[in-house]
Structure 1
């Protein structure tokens, strides 16, 4: 029997969402300003402070 998977914490989930977006977004990959990435980065930093 294996141990149950550890649920992702809010900062981990927010970081993963941000990274997933930047790898899938053509604007991010081109190095241009992406407002969605900016917003996701802010959410991640905010969840880390809690």
Structure 2
């Protein structure tokens, strides 16, 4: 069986400096993918998606 999406995202190299790392890169990428699948585009749309689904 293939690796899960989260396992694959955890393999992506984090290019940010240590000052810019508040959340793990895999989590940000997961929210971007989920937001895009929901029809949200751009930083504002993805941010709105995270706010709507934060507790879930």
Whether TM-score is above 0.5 comes out as: no
Q: TM-score, normalization: structure 1?
A: 0.35
Larger-Rg structure: 1
Q: TM-score, normalization: structure 2?
A: 0.32
* Structure with the higher fraction of residues in helix conformation: 1
